[in-house]
Structure 1
Amino acid sequence: MKMNSAEKEVHDWLFKTVIGLNLCPFAKKPYNEGQIRIKSTNKKNKKEQIDFFLDELNTLQQSQNLTTSLVIFENATKDFFKFYEFEQNLSDMLYELSLEETFQLVSFHPKFIFEQEDKNSLANYVNRSPLPLIHILRSKDIALALEESKDAEALSFRNQKKIENLSAQELRYYFPFLKDIK
């Protein structure tokens, strides 16, 4: 599969960081089976970005082989809160399209900040990615993964602790796109 530089960067992050650190124990199997789609757009216009997202949603909906899609917005805002607002608008579209029970969205961003976390908290690294992206997941796959997982609710806490226990050198290795690591 031919990838542009943005898709390659996200692919490498997915493999090295998300799968390598086992931040998402549900990612390895679909990755190994080629069921994760990674697509990017360099569109700057919000309507064109939304159209690209809807095309990706349609591709995922039509495919029996794909379980998930990472949709990269190369020219999205650098401001995480504005990007989060964009993701919320896309989530609202799922309701408008009656797809809220079919798909769920998760945002990732280089400056991701969890609610109730300080902007400098290492806990935020769990959802920090090299570029702004929206992860489209099939709701049935999430339900199945949660059913199979003995302690899915503790996953986020475990990931935060795992990242907090990394050395500065390890943080630079797993998150080379974050320039503020001391």
Structure 2
Amino acid sequence: MNQQALIQATRQWVERVVVDLNLCPFARRELVNNRVRFAATDAQTPDGLLDDLQRELMKLVDDDSIETTLLIHPGVLQDFHDYNDFLAVADGLLDILELEGVIQIASFHPDYQFAGTAADAAENYTNRSPYPMLHLLREASLERAIDAYPDTDAIPQRNIERVEALGPDVMKALLASCLPGQ
């Protein structure tokens, strides 16, 4: 699949799931202001992804016009457990680059599963995306947004309640509707 199709599907997911369901109350403003970078990589190995991750981290640090980056990587870490293990490597890269406390990496995957949940539990859809991706966030911006938003501690539970009310079948169909050809 070409990079533009990957980016378009991911953008639709952000619009239809993240923004329309208000899973992240901070996303709409950045999307409307065109400050979300959608980057797709053709990496086929974890090492290749790590190289691309480093480039995207440095781009985010160096370019103030970008608020957040979604690094889409469909060719590597399709298995959720492998992906989950890679997150420690990604955090290690933050440490090596001395970006710990500057950039935070959030995780989204088509098979995302919170510990202690069934694979088909609706709540997993709060972190399910069309493709595996790493979400790079500026910590200072995140802190400002949290300080300005009332009761951010309630967001995760509210999101779980929202997707549970819709149910796993609706969430699965909504996620699928973002994919090309749907």
Q: TM-score, normalised by structure 2?
A: 0.91
Q: How does 1:72-91 map to 2 (within 5 A)?
A: 72-91=72-91
Q: Is the 8 A contact 2:45 2:76 kept in 1?
A: no
Secondary structure at the counterpart of residue 176 of structure 2: coil
Structure 1: how far apart are the matches of 2:12 and 2:130?
10
1:98 to 1:162, Cα distance in 2 relative to 1, 3 A: same
| 1:139 paired residue number | 139
Asked if residue 93 in structure 1 is aligned to residue 88 in structure 2, the reply is no
Per-residue CA deviations over 1:18-72 (Å, capped at 9, x if unaligned) read: 0011110000001000000000112202222111111111111111111100001
Q: Is the 8 A contact 1:130 1:177 kept in 2?
A: no
Structure 1 residue 167 displacement after superposition = 5.2
Structure 1 residue 161 displacement after superposition = 0.4
State the aligned residue count.
177
Q: How does 1:22-171 map to 2 (within 5 A)?
A: 22-166=22-166, 170-171=170-171
Structure 1 residue 117 displacement after superposition = 1.8
Structure 1 residue 171 displacement after superposition = 2.5
5+ residue gaps, structure 1, are none
Structure 1 residue 93 displacement after superposition = 1.1
| Segment drifting more, 37-46 vs 102-111 | 37-46
Secondary structure at the counterpart of residue 90 of structure 1: helix
Q: Is the 8 A contact 1:7 1:38 kept in 2?
A: yes
Structure 1 residue 84 displacement after superposition = 1.1
1:161 to 1:4, Cα distance in 2 relative to 1, 3 A: same
Structure 1: how far apart are the matches of 2:87 and 2:77?
12
Q: How does 1:2-17 map to 2 (within 5 A)?
A: 4-17=4-17
Structure 2: how far apart are the matches of 1:75 and 1:90?
17
Structure 2: how far apart are the matches of 1:25 and 1:148?
11
1:169 to 1:82, Cα distance in 2 relative to 1, 3 A: closer
5+ residue gaps, structure 2, are none
Structure 1 residue 124 displacement after superposition = 0.4
Q: Is the 8 A contact 2:102 2:138 kept in 1?
A: yes
What RMSD in Å do the two structures reach over aligned CA positions? 1.8
Identity %: 27
Structure 1 residue 87 displacement after superposition = 1.8
Secondary structure at the counterpart of residue 22 of structure 1: coil
Per-residue CA deviations over 1:126-175 (Å, capped at 9, x if unaligned) read: 00000000000000011111111211111011001000111566434422
Structure 1 residue 96 displacement after superposition = 1.6
